Chain A
């Protein structure tokens, strides 16, 4: 008996080392792009063009001040715009997707299955296919150059809805809802005070995904925002990318990307701790 335990723990030890080895390789793979972004952000345009390097250059400050001092690129305004749009999108998206999923999950009503299937179908529709109609409509509604077409649509996010629905199926027993009803809680109150806390891990995961998606979105903002004061970071990056030869500056471009990634990285690292904990907590309860 004792022998057995020892053997299997030795076996475990080897497995653990193997796992760590694989994980370290993937960690390097995952961090490598960030490192190269940093390296390139510290090199001058010509240095970047003339060849690849693993060693940081000396132009970090110069690239930084080029971006920050630029009279055309409104970097901080762009950051603020991106934060507003991505932040509100993520909030609206997780809250209303949970609400929608809850409607389907907790209630019985006619057309429930039809509605569920309908949302599944619309989930598959690429945003690009309605691009032309979207711009037409937003123009005629006078919503161009506003953030509304970029924020409000995230209320109807079928993909997030689907995740919430799946999560509720595995982690939200209806008995809890019943218990709340018996306590006299109103339906809306139950959703906000009972259901949402249980959904925390799912909310955190999807909040990150939604935030990042919105933060990195180029396609829709490019259709809606053109004025300098409204532009988001991806639009400025595209602007730098298409600069002509006299102004094309890879150093500045990589610096811009670096600046754009930094806030997401922070938001992510902050939230990710919460996720790891949240997932663990969710499992204990579930």
Chain B
């Protein structure tokens, strides 16, 4: 019984890792005032780049690096359009998602059903992994999980306590005032967008290199959109984002637990999407808190 609980929780954490990486990235981007709805596209690109490069080189590290690069490069497009050309952020993000999903579908086609030659292995952290129960659960995961946790804590600390973090937040709250204080609004927004994209690329890599080890069409399956939802749920706080990511990891796992009981698989497959709606609905019931946390200038192009 303990074994079953442990393996379920272990799987929950695995399922939540890509959401954690993506959400942390989107929080970084949105804190600077840029809404990037292209997460689904960037995760798709990260997944396909990671998978193909890993297959070609036989080295997962190169795959992860490629995913990072793919996500970041995709975000450059969004950054140029929304930050410098002041394009509509919603439409630009949608375009990025379409492009990413399309490119991943086309580039990944020859690899459908292929197995990875090497997968992202789980690493036992010395000593820590020997803690009973918890050790097996948290300290026996793949490196991207550790990266995700470190990035989430790091982003939280960075945004809250460092000078650059405060500048990022000020740009997202009141770009005009920040500019008058000599803060380079556009450069900061651009960098945060690209950084967030790189995180999303990593998230895609986790889906393709660890969570699943063979390529299937539509492998990301809307996780990017769930990330956008989780970012709102997180109230733009990376630590709350972590909570949300693993909560949703649990919902993904619940699907597999309920299947043998006889619930139709199509209805179970709705769970993460319905849960996103419910979570945002509950958030909406406390309007006052929301307005305190959403970056005030989110989604609005800034021109001098």
Q: Do A and B come from one complex?
A: no
What is the interface of chain B, defined by CB distance below 8 A to chain A? Answer: none
